[in-house]
Amino acid sequence: MQFIDLKAQYQALKPEIDANIQSVLNAAQFIGGPYVKELEEALAAFTGRKHCITCANGTDALQIAYMMTGVGAGDAVFCPDMTFISSTEPAKMFGAASIFCDILPDTYCLDPASLERQITAVLAEGIFTPKAVVAVDILGNPCDYDVIAPICEKYGLTLIEDAAQSFGAVYKGKRACSFGRIAITSFFPAKPLGCYGDGGAIFTDDEEEDALCRSLCVHGKGPGGKYDNIRVGINSRLDNLQAAILLPKLKALQERELDRRQTVAGRYNNAFAGKFVTPFVAEGCVSAWAQYALLAEGAAQRDKITAHLTEKGIPNMVYYPTPQHALPVFQNEPRYGEDFKNANDYCARTFSLPMHPYLTESEQDEVIRVVLEGL
């Protein structure tokens, strides 16, 4: 059994993927190319954004978003305490302060009340300038943008949607990647829409930001091309081969894979209700189910169950074992009195089970049986 079965997905999509790969090889057009343009147009249409700019990976997408926002020394960037380091890693790189906020106890996304407390604390201290909020759609579950966006507007902060885990999710009728001034996603192979290597994308509705982003992706190029450098940029491009692979995967995601993820999650929820804290999806929302995470009674029960799963050959993971404020790299970041109660609790109790659209009912039954055995 696979935690995420990319082999099964490939077998289901093999004719289309193989044909596209062969087309790229025949044309020998590897950097840029028609599949990249086609994919960007398809991704923009799917998310409802005006512009999509693909890049080399999701971390680059976040770094470019920070560069577009002008984050630098003396600025403060606000982010949920329970996420992966890439959400605020660029802030550290650019000399800004990462200000972590607690998460909600149900969706595990950014807590708007904690966010506003942290913003007002930074303003009261007067050392850092609040600059941006990175709202992370954790585990595939979208943030509460109807509450977060007005907070950003109130304090003049740029809202960046980190949809690295939520591509395909829905918040009140709108797709992930359609929120914030800038949104990003990742095409890391394990993501809901993943390529066969690294890849990422940035989304915006602004013409000037689209042009700026495309410049930053190619060494700060100007109107004259890559040798007309008008700013400092980076080298971050999605290659034609990865775009060719992503196109049939995007079609499958829309046509059946998102629905299958809902089915698997529903069977898990029914089996584990009352025995664990099962994932919560708010009304009007659809999770992309990048991960299926349960909360055990405590760390001891979690460790007992995961050890039993491993013994029985059932893959499992912990997303994530350590809140950001406790990572060694962030030990010197400023603190403003938050106790991160919900983030600490989540990290101590969480464990994740196999989740993908090709998980058969018999495999699901086996996962359920072994988890319950481990209680």
Chain segment 16-70, per-residue pLDDT in tens: 999 999 999 999 999 999 999 999 999 999 999 999 999 999 999 999 999 999 9
Q: What percent of the chain has pLDDT over 90?
A: 99
Cβ proximity of 252 and 261 under 8 Å: no
Rounded to 5°, angle at Cα 198 from 216 and 35: 75
Stretch 221-229: mean pLDDT: 93
229 pairs with which residues across the strands? Answer: 221
Amino acid identity at 372 = L
CA dist 155 and 71 (Å) reads 16
pTM listed for this prediction: 0.97
Asked if 125 and 153 touch (Cβ cutoff 8 Å), the reply is no
Read off the pLDDT of each residue in 86-111 and give the average, rounded to a whole number: 97
**Per-residue model confidence (pLDDT) at position 226:** 87
Placement of tokens 């009007």 in the chain: 284
> Quick check: 154 and 174 in contact, CB under 8 A?
no
State which amino acid sits at residue 307. A
* pLDDT tens, residue by residue, 310-335: 999 999 999 999 999 999 999 999 99
Taken in order of first residue, the domains within the chain and their CATH numbers are: 6-100+108-247 (3.40.640.10), 257-373 (3.90.1150.10)
> 279 phi and psi, to 5 degrees?
-60, 140
pLDDT above 70 covers a percentage of the chain that reads 100
Of 87, 77, 134, 135, the residue nearest 107 (C-alpha):
135
Closest CA to 79 of 143, 155, 139, 128: 143
Rounded alpha-carbon distances, angstroms, from residue 52 to 134, 185, 188: 18, 10, 17
User: Residue 374 has which token pair?
Assistant: 């481990």
List of E strands, the chain: 51-55, 75-80, 97-101, 129-136, 158-162, 170-171, 174-175, 182-186, 200-204, 221-222, 225-229, 285-286, 292-295, 350-353
Helix extents (H) in 167-206: none
